[in-house]
Structure 1
Amino acid sequence: MTRSLLVELLGLLPAYDPWALRDDPDTDLERIRGLVGMLVRSTDRTLVPDLERELERCVDSGDDIGRDAIGEVLAGIAGLGALPALLRASARDLGDDQDWFQTIICEDLLRADPEGARPAVLELLDATDPALRATAFWALDHVLTDDDLPRILAAADDPDPTVRETARHLRDRLSKGR
């Protein structure tokens, strides 16, 4: 049953149907939100590998609606186990503001369990991809501890300007006692 819900959801996403959301975007978005809720409530962990693949496919095709919907289902079912895939997807610029997607990452995962989220965030701080490093430092802001100061100080010299800017922000936040 849950697999059929996922198939229905995928059929509504622009990554799979370039004409999706063309007739009545509000109705289609309501259907998408409803299916997302049903899939999350299913807690069907057998969907996780498919969801990870579909998240990557949505990002590769530039489908921000799909990224957000699939990301929410993945976070709802896999919890912190979804964090690396979600941060990787967030690091890819699809030209949107990522409001919904970053809310999923922040509220459902980072702030809900900062201690549990830290290992996934810390692992990505040394990524070779500058966009992924910048995203990891953005996430670090939500799980920050005093122990992070050496990494933050080192990142102040990062070749990527976004990483440097985020590191300076985190340094200032730590020096003010968060």
Structure 2
Amino acid sequence: MLTKYKLVGQILGVLVLVAALIGGGFAAGWQWQAAKGAAALATADSLHAHALGEITRAAAGQLQRQQQRANELQQQLSELDNKHYAEMTDVQQDNNQLAVELAAAEQRLSVRITNPAAGAGGVPSSGAATGVDNGAGARADIHPAIAASLVRVTSRADECRSRLTALQNWARLVSTN
């Protein structure tokens, strides 16, 4: 009977040994797979960090180019504003000077008139003496205060035209950039 127990003990020993070998193999495989997974994870982390670095550099470059274009556009708009402002102030000064000269009767503003004394065809209907200025080319002076008012009205129209031109140029410049 002792041999029976010995045999069972040996079988149990072999089974324990086989179980230990299987467990050891499993543990070794587990360790090898963990090391392989850690290496793959390290490679993936490195690639991810590299990709993020490339994306960051590309975004920074694009941001720098956009900032440079915005600065150039701002400079162009500033130059355009200065140019149109100078043109508008020149027109205002000229028109104000003309209005002052007209109001002071230093200059005259006249309009072409037809001679009311002339009949059909520009020939005088009465026997009044006629001069060189009679006829279709006759001119009449406008009262100085009215002439100054007319110049102020046209001056405002010139300013509006200048502002509109400046706005159109500004919009054209902004829309092309």
Query: Which protein is richer in strand relative to its size?
Result: 2
Bigger RCO (CA 8 Å, 6+ sep):
2
User: Rg larger in 1 or in 2?
Assistant: 2
TM-score per shorter chain, which class?
under 0.3
